[in-house]
Amino acid sequence: MVDKRKAVVEDDDDDEELRTGQGAKKQAQAALGFRKKLKSDAVILASVKKFSETAKDVRQETRTLADLNLPHACKEVVDLNTSSVVLEIERSILSIAKSILAGNGFGYSVPARSSVNQLYVPELDRIVLKDKASFRQFANISSVRKTAITTRILQLVHQLCTKQIHVTKRDLFYTDVKLFQEQGQSDTILDDVSCMLGCTRSSLNVVASEKGVVVGRLVFIEDGDRIDCTKMGVGGKAIPPNIDKVQGMESDALFILLVEKDAAFMRLAEDRFYNRFPCVIITAKGQPDVATRLFLKRMKTDLKLPVLGLVDSDPYGLKILSVYMSGSKNMSYDSSNLTTPDIKWLGVRPSDLDKYKIPEQCRLPMTDQDMKTGKDMLEEDFIKKDKNWYKELELMVKTKEKAEIQALSSFGFQYLSEVYLPLKLQERDWI
Amino acid sequence: MVDKRKAVVEDDDDDEELRTGQGAKKQAQAALGFRKKLKSDAVILASVKKFSETAKDVRQETRTLADLNLPHACKEVVDLNTSSVVLEIERSILSIAKSILAGNGFGYSVPARSSVNQLYVPELDRIVLKDKASFRQFANISSVRKTAITTRILQLVHQLCTKQIHVTKRDLFYTDVKLFQEQGQSDTILDDVSCMLGCTRSSLNVVASEKGVVVGRLVFIEDGDRIDCTKMGVGGKAIPPNIDKVQGMESDALFILLVEKDAAFMRLAEDRFYNRFPCVIITAKGQPDVATRLFLKRMKTDLKLPVLGLVDSDPYGLKILSVYMSGSKNMSYDSSNLTTPDIKWLGVRPSDLDKYKIPEQCRLPMTDQDMKTGKDMLEEDFIKKDKNWYKELELMVKTKEKAEIQALSSFGFQYLSEVYLPLKLQERDWI
């Protein structure tokens, strides 16, 4: 509608940006070309179904630490129900009482969580803790404070589990500010306690605040309420902070679509993408939070569905996938409960930029920080173990180009849901 | 369970923090005292019911700009349905075509949105735009780019409204990166366009990403799905980014509880506070986003319920209330659609700290920045117009103390839902 030629005549400075008529035409042609490649939905669905079933077989061989013959004794925590946690705590306190009565004072054996005690296990594709532990003696000036805080946290957690209520770390801190002084102190010891008891932090009923949302072919029971995620409008259902209130997951989906950002989530939810291609769509709106990671893991385990990841084509998007898949380093003791190892990288992959003819101006140059992160990631086990992933990242670093999921909007607002994703599914184009 | 005296004997440095036994006892007594003050739920409900009905009468007199006899001609935007927006755009383009055919070239008359063109209207208790506008000529080097972008945005919005789909600002930017260059440019012109057409930005089908959640006695239809917020588990329902998909709100609540943070929201949702005291609980998890503000406004208008605000006792908490009530300055042209003027400040108020005996160690000293923000706010019309609010803020600045909602956890994890809020309701303790 803009008369661009006229503008060029009158204002030479701006002609570069305004003479886009030709580019826009090319772009429209490219979009049309991809649209024509699309087969009928029935054909695409058949292709996905096959994949979905293969994924079901592979998943039988999920291995645990115990299955492996590792040179180190390793430690991982498990999900415990509240009565088991209560029992564990009472057992600890009882043994302390005995020790005191025997005239030996008391202390706690606390697993070390520092990086020297961490180990990447390729067979499991995640980070676990080695068995180093330190004894935290009460009758010692250097450890008396920590021992007191540990005991207090045990008492508070006992109370939470008995009452069956959930609180945030911040709430926990405020119950005894005089003792804890700073939230960092109660947080650290809380993690120690979960290692000590051998259970996850969410088993302690201390939860993270939620920010994820889910929509699509999923039904579950949350605290007694039946949630049907196909009937959650366009905003979706907020993922609950306490995963143990979630039960009875059911789904007729063929896959789970894990989306980095909420703009893409919104597009897919509004277009009811899951009605055309049965799936569950989930996003943590950026950096994955614990609640969303637990929810994804639970879906994967209960529903036995493959997970396809849709993230920006930049080192940060890859980092986000790695957190979902291998866990973050400071919670490595909890990695088996938080990680979903076999996520397929659907897109937007560095090779997609040329393959899908993403226009030059929608690609962004990588910053120095991006380049550094990208190069560092090339050294990580997580990337190195998969040739295809490595190649893609190598390409990104070589071309020094990145692109957001939104870059697909340059072909039209609904290009993501109507062309790009269906085509990806049709060609099973993920690695 | 901690033997604190023993610790003190062995480690003198830490005795200050560890000799908390006496303090804890006092705290427990205080909590018990407040608990004893509580009457039966029936009595509390009767008290709230009366308030809820009074609020219904007052609300009849909601005034608009047109009702006032202002010295300035002022401009506000209204919600338009998509077909009206399409019509408005076609009308603009038609008049442009005529102007071009008449040999006059073309341009747009764009309302100024700078602070000199903003006006606080005490009768409405919000900021509006005065009538200053500038003419954006196409045949002029300094404005040709902006005119071209304006035309392109009009075209894109026309497309969105015709297709009845919603996108984010980011999506909009990516449809024509070559022309827009930076997202800031398309964002600014988008706001211009909404002023020009006299409608809200959400009428243009360009939406903000949502982060709010809602739970409690509310039923509504979202894009055809019936959402019952009493059956949303503990995580609640994610507030949709596009308010125009929300219809048919129904509720038997007595009030709306607006909560600053998600930790408090979580506590109230898990305790199903809304079953004991019929209410709707809503939070934007911090800084209010447009979607949550629109949703609150819609609830207030459709359900005619009073709104009670629960925020931290610090200048930031007050700032958050002010954004819900009077709007933010850079969206003043849209203030009537985004603001909910009569929110009552329930807590945590500076005077609550002593009244509810919040322990010293759970109060935090205000930083220099806090003090500055607090003092600046004392000068604002928003605070000055209400004597009681002014007094509270004055007290905060005088005592130089702040406290989070979580500080109430020092009396027990469920103190907020079991004692503090019921007592507030019983005594109708809000201003």
B245 and B313 housed in the same domain? yes
CATH number, position B258: 3.40.1360.10
Which pLDDT belongs to residue A11? Answer: 40
Closest CA of chain B from A280, distance in Å: 16
Say if the Cβ atoms of B20 and A155 lie within 8 Å.
no
Residue whose C-alpha is closest to residue A320's, from A358, A353, A282: A282
Is A312 annotated to bind ligand? Answer: yes
Tens digits of residue pLDDT in A305-339: 999 999 999 999 999 998 899 877 666 667 777 88
Q: Which residue of B has its CA nearest to A181?
A: B17
A274 and A394 housed in the same domain? yes
Q: Which residue of A has its CA nearest to B411?
A: A175
Say yes or no to pLDDT of A255 above 80. yes
Which pLDDT belongs to residue B21? Answer: 56
Tens digits of residue pLDDT in A260-309: 988 899 999 999 999 999 999 999 988 898 889 999 999 998 999 999 99
Tens digits of residue pLDDT in A370-418: 999 999 999 988 888 899 999 999 999 999 999 999 888 888 889 999 9
First to last CA, chain A: 42
> Does residue A42 lie within any of the structural domains?
yes
B197 and B250 housed in the same domain? no
Counting residues of chain A whose pLDDT is more than 90, the rounded percentage is 49
- Is the CB of A409 inside 8 Å of chain B's CB atoms? yes
Which pLDDT belongs to residue A67? Answer: 72
Say yes or no to pLDDT of A15 above 70. no
The whole-angstrom separation of Cα B326 and Cα B415 is 31
Q: For residue B124, what are the CA distances in angstroms to B61, B73, B78, B339?
A: 11, 15, 15, 10
Q: With bands split at pLDDT 50, 70 and 90, how would you rate the model's confidence at A237?
A: very high
- Nearest 5°: the CA angle B345, B347, B352 is 125
Q: For chains A and B, count residue pairs whose Cβ atoms are closer than 8 Å.
A: 249
Q: With bands split at pLDDT 50, 70 and 90, how would you rate the model's confidence at B16?
A: very low
| Residue ending a domain, choose from B178, B206, B234 | B206
A201 and A99 housed in the same domain? yes
Chain A residues with CB-CB distance to B24 below 8 A:
176
Instruction: Give mean pLDDT, residues A147-153.
Output: 95
Counting residues of chain A whose pLDDT is more than 70, the rounded percentage is 89
Which pLDDT belongs to residue B58? Answer: 55
Which pLDDT belongs to residue A58? Answer: 54
B54 and B79 housed in the same domain? no
The whole-angstrom separation of Cα A267 and Cα B165 is 9
Sorted by sequence, the CB contacts under 8 Å of residue A135 that are 6+ apart come out as: A107, A108, A109, A110
| Residue ending a domain, choose from A163, A181, A207 | A207
B133 and B221 housed in the same domain? no
B199 and B224 housed in the same domain? no
Reduced to 3 states, what is the DSSP secondary structure of residue A359?
coil
**Pair B236, B213: CB distance under 8 Å:** yes
**Pair B376, B316: CB distance under 8 Å:** no
CB contact residues (below 8 A), chain A span 247-276, against chain B: 262-263, 266-267, 270-271
For B233, the closest of A179, A245, A270 (CB atoms) is A245
> Does residue A4 lie within any of the structural domains?
no
Which pLDDT belongs to residue B77? Answer: 78
Helical ranges in A71-229 per DSSP H: 82-101, 144-163, 169-174, 177-180, 183-197
Which pLDDT belongs to residue B308? Answer: 95
> Does residue A271 lie within any of the structural domains?
yes
Which pLDDT belongs to residue B49? Answer: 85
Say yes or no to pLDDT of B14 above 60. no
Q: Which residue has the tokens 């600890």?
A: A92
DSSP assignment letter at B206: E
Report residue B250: phi and psi, to 5°: -135, 150
The whole-angstrom separation of Cα B400 and Cα B397 is 5
CATH number, position B166: 1.10.10.10
> Does residue B257 lie within any of the structural domains?
yes
> Does residue B232 lie within any of the structural domains?
yes
| Residue ending a domain, choose from B206, B234, B267 | B206
Which pLDDT belongs to residue B216? Answer: 96
Q: What is the predicted ipTM? A: 0.77
Closest CA of chain B from A374, distance in Å: 24
Instruction: Give mean pLDDT, residues A219-241.
Output: 93
Q: For residue A171, what are the CA distances in angstroms to A178, A181, A304, B8?
A: 14, 13, 35, 26
Which pLDDT belongs to residue B5? Answer: 39
Say yes or no to pLDDT of A97 above 60. yes
Annotation says B174 is catalytic: yes
Say yes or no to pLDDT of A35 above 90. no
Among A175-184, A365-374, B127-136, the range scoring the smallest mean pLDDT is B127-136
Q: With bands split at pLDDT 50, 70 and 90, how would you rate the model's confidence at B114?
A: confident
Mean pLDDT of chain B: 86
Q: With bands split at pLDDT 50, 70 and 90, how would you rate the model's confidence at A170?
A: confident
Which pLDDT belongs to residue B11? Answer: 41
CB contact residues (below 8 A), chain B span 215-254, against chain A: 222-227, 231-242, 245-246
Q: B422 or B59: which carries more pLDDT confidence? A: B422
Say if the Cβ atoms of A167 and B267 lie within 8 Å.
yes
Tens digits of residue pLDDT in B67-80: 777 766 777 778 88
Q: With bands split at pLDDT 50, 70 and 90, how would you rate the model's confidence at A3?
A: very low
Q: A210 or A389: which carries more pLDDT confidence? A: A389
Instruction: Give mean pLDDT, residues B100-118.
Output: 87
A218 and A363 housed in the same domain? yes
For A141, the closest of B11, B18, B160 (CB atoms) is B11
A259 and A383 housed in the same domain? yes
A287 and A255 housed in the same domain? yes
Which pLDDT belongs to residue B412? Answer: 85
Say yes or no to pLDDT of A5 above 50. no
Reduced to 3 states, what is the DSSP secondary structure of residue A30?
helix
Say if the Cβ atoms of A222 and B235 lie within 8 Å.
yes
Q: For residue B43, what are the CA distances in angstroms to A35, A340, B51, B426?
A: 65, 51, 13, 7
Say yes or no to pLDDT of B61 above 60. no
The whole-angstrom separation of Cα B11 and Cα B376 is 46
Residue whose C-alpha is closest to residue B159's, from B142, B176, B135, B177: B176
Binding-site residue positions of B: 260, 312
Q: Which residue has the tokens 């006032």?
A: B68
Which pLDDT belongs to residue A19? Answer: 45
Which pLDDT belongs to residue B399? Answer: 95
> Does residue A24 lie within any of the structural domains?
no
Closest CA of chain B from A368, distance in Å: 20
Instruction: Give mean pLDDT, residues A43-62.
Output: 73
Instruction: Give mean pLDDT, residues A91-97.
Output: 94
Say yes or no to pLDDT of B33 above 90. no
**Pair A293, A337: CB distance under 8 Å:** no
Instruction: Give mean pLDDT, residues B291-317.
Output: 93
- Report which secondary-structure segment, H or E, holds A241: none
- Is the CB of A28 inside 8 Å of chain B's CB atoms? no
The type of residue at A108 is Y
Closest CA of chain B from A408, distance in Å: 8
Among A121-135, A157-171, A350-364, the range scoring the smallest mean pLDDT is A121-135
> Does residue B354 lie within any of the structural domains?
yes
Say yes or no to pLDDT of A148 above 50. yes
Say yes or no to pLDDT of B10 above 50. no
Say if the Cβ atoms of A1 and B177 lie within 8 Å.
no
Q: With bands split at pLDDT 50, 70 and 90, how would you rate the model's confidence at B329?
A: low
The whole-angstrom separation of Cα A204 and Cα A193 is 9
Q: What is the tally of structural domains in chain A?
A: 2
A50 and A160 housed in the same domain? no
What residues make up the domain containing A170?
Answer: 74-207
- Is the CB of B145 inside 8 Å of chain A's CB atoms? yes
Which pLDDT belongs to residue A331? Answer: 67
> Does residue B15 lie within any of the structural domains?
no
Which pLDDT belongs to residue A152? Answer: 94
Chain B residues with CB-CB distance to A148 below 8 A:
2, 4, 7, 18
B406 and B264 housed in the same domain? yes
- Is the CB of B404 inside 8 Å of chain A's CB atoms? yes
Q: Which residue has the tokens 């006892």?
A: B25
Reduced to 3 states, what is the DSSP secondary structure of residue A386?
coil
Q: Is the peptide bond before A348 cis (omega within 30 degrees of 0)?
A: yes
Catalytic residues of A: 174
